[in-house]
Amino acid sequence: MRRLRKVKIVATLGPASSDYQTIRALFEAGADVFRLNMSHGTHAEQKARYDIIRQIEADTGRPIGVLADLQGPKLRVGTFASGAAELEEGQPFRFDLDEEPGDGHRVCLPHREIFEALQPGATLLINDGKIAMKVNDCGPDFANCTVTIGGTISNRKGVNVPDVVLPLAALSDKDRADLEFVCDLGADWLALSFVQRAEDVTEARELARGRSAILAKIEKPAALNKFDEILAVSDGIMVARGDLGVELPVYTVPPIQKRLVRKCRAAGKPVIVATQMLESMIESPMPTRAEVSDVAAAIYEGADAVMLSAESAAGRYPIEAVATMDNVAQSVETDPTYREVIEASRKAVRKTVADGIVAAARELAETTDIKAICCYTQSGKTVNLVARERPRVPIIALTPVQSVLRRLCLTWGVHCAYCEPVDRFKMAVVGAARAARAEGFATEADQILVTAGVPFNVQGTTNILRVAPCDERLIFRTDPE
């Protein structure tokens, strides 16, 4: 099954998409990676969804990526005696550690670490920023505030502290249990919520022990301040615009998104743009024009993937939402302006032999009649470097490592194909030609580019670039052993 676009689609599974028929329909509509949201559902429910994904993979013969998204530390207020309270602008309000139900003057905030980090003048945001408060004075077990934006505050609403780096581990006890579960299950990507520093990613990587690639979700101002360090130790990035839009002025999010996407592209690491992309399709079969423009903007920026959350997990029109993303992507990528934007934003990187080979592959593909760039890979790194170049021709990833194929389902422009291990370059070229023909990218009359490394089956050895015919007779006649 060949996609007619380069950008990938991530679809979240949930109550609206938990049976074989629906998940297969989502895949056929265009989903390349499925997200398991560990904030909702039991381990048994998530395992059932995972098993269905792998059954569809076997039935269709196409690799499918699975991204497990950890909940992260959730900060919430306590409960109220009446279930809720009305707060007015200018009134005082107190947070403390007293577990007694709250009222219109105070409530429990059961997170001592927040009080330890707060300073007078800091801002507290409740219920996604619908209520805002300024801290007047505080101590190790209280914070006296003034309401700056009033409204209804109710039981267990979320709390954001945008001005403060909280002394919180990115992994709660629940996250650690979920991490072990999804890694044993076979998740290809592990998404970390509320990352603030590079050490958060390093801790998760140590716990994962190579079983999953690590993707850092950027949703805190603190993560923006440490982004280069976080990117360096992550395998991928998610621009999670929901909490960013709560903790920062909403009008700052688009330039932040653009900046982060470009940095990820330059680093050769996949980046997902997420949150509220087609939000209205939770209830409507048609998106708004603004939502379509939002998806299109991420694609024009060169994001590797765009993501659906509640639209596919709990919405009334999950399949239509995926199909809409697929249609938007095809429309954008056939626009001549798309190539102009992508190529103008390309950043040249020439530090290693592999950098030079993938740059040369892209230049050759754009100046000669090449149908595809075929990459033999053990780890997927060279494929990501080729994708960094955003070539005009398709990228075919060839590897005998199933887990690598599944992880590459998230990478821009990559068509993943399993191959048997090879030990001679001639057979690598033959295998690439066969894959290009079988997958519908080329005919016997066409040429492809092949990248590989000698010695074979060793990571980090990409050192060969070959222009090859797709006619095997010509390969055997002209290629050295």
Instruction: State residue 479's pLDDT score.
Output: 59
| Amino acid (one-letter) located at 241 | R
Q: Which two tokens stand for residue 61?
A: 């013969």
Residues 59-63: contacts with CB under 8 Å, at least 24 apart: 59/24, 60/1, 60/24, 60/27, 62/1, 62/416, 63/402, 63/405, 63/406, 63/408, 63/409, 63/416, 63/418
Any idea how long the chain is? Answer: 481
Query: Rounded CA gap, 370 and 469, in Å?
Result: 10
Report the pLDDT averaged over residues 39-55.
96
Secondary structure string (H, E, C) spanning 199-243: HHHHHHHHHHCCCCEEEEEECCHHHHHCHHHHHHHCCEEEEEHHH
End-to-end CA distance of the chain: 33
Query: Rounded CA gap, 27 and 17, in Å?
Result: 11
Instruction: State residue 426's pLDDT score.
Output: 86
Region of poorest pLDDT, from 48-52, 112-116, 313-317, 387-391: 112-116
Instruction: State residue 326's pLDDT score.
Output: 98
Query: Rounded CA gap, 7 and 341, in Å?
Result: 15
* Cβ-based neighbour number of residue 466 at 10 Å: 18
Report the pLDDT averaged over residues 434-451.
95
Q: What is the mean pLDDT of the chain?
A: 94
- Tell me the pLDDT band of 346, cut-offs 50, 70 and 90: confident
Is position 377 annotated as part of the catalytic site? no
Report the pLDDT averaged over residues 365-381.
93
Is position 217 annotated as part of the catalytic site? yes
Query: Rounded CA gap, 468 and 479, in Å?
Result: 9
Report the pLDDT averaged over residues 63-82.
94
Model pLDDT for residues 118-168, shown as the tens digit of each residue: 999 999 999 988 999 999 999 999 999 999 999 999 999 989 998 888 888
The residue annotated as part of the active site, out of 275, 377, 382, 451, is 275
Is position 339 annotated as part of the catalytic site? no
- Tell me the pLDDT band of 460, cut-offs 50, 70 and 90: low
Are the CB atoms for 370 and 364 separated by under 8 Å? yes
Model pLDDT for residues 206-265, shown as the tens digit of each residue: 999 999 999 999 998 889 999 999 999 999 999 999 889 888 999 999 999 999 999 999
Model pLDDT for residues 75-122, shown as the tens digit of each residue: 899 999 999 999 999 999 999 999 999 999 999 999 998 999 999 999
Are the CB atoms for 224 and 218 separated by under 8 Å? yes
Q: Which two tokens stand for residue 456?
A: 């074979």
| Amino acid (one-letter) located at 223 | A
Query: Given the DSSP bridges, would you call strands 142-149 and 92-96 parallel, antiparallel or unpaired?
Result: antiparallel
Report the pLDDT averaged over residues 3-32.
97
> Starting at the edge strand that comes first in sequence, how are the strands of the sheet with 131-139 ordered?
106-108, 92-96, 142-149, 131-139, 123-126, 159-160
Model pLDDT for residues 355-371, shown as the tens digit of each residue: 899 999 999 998 999 99
* Cβ-based neighbour number of residue 475 at 10 Å: 19
Instruction: State residue 351's pLDDT score.
Output: 80
- Tell me the pLDDT band of 170, cut-offs 50, 70 and 90: confident
The residue annotated as part of the active site, out of 3, 5, 8, 217, is 217
Model pLDDT for residues 263-300, shown as the tens digit of each residue: 999 999 999 999 999 999 999 999 999 999 999 999 99
427 torsion bin: left (phi>0), alpha (psi -120 to 50), beta (else): alpha
The residue annotated as part of the active site, out of 6, 8, 35, 220, is 35
Are the CB atoms for 218 and 238 separated by under 8 Å? yes
Phi, psi of 398 (to 5 degrees): -120, 120
Is position 406 annotated as part of the catalytic site? no
The residue annotated as part of the active site, out of 47, 54, 76, 259, is 76
Instruction: State residue 463's pLDDT score.
Output: 83
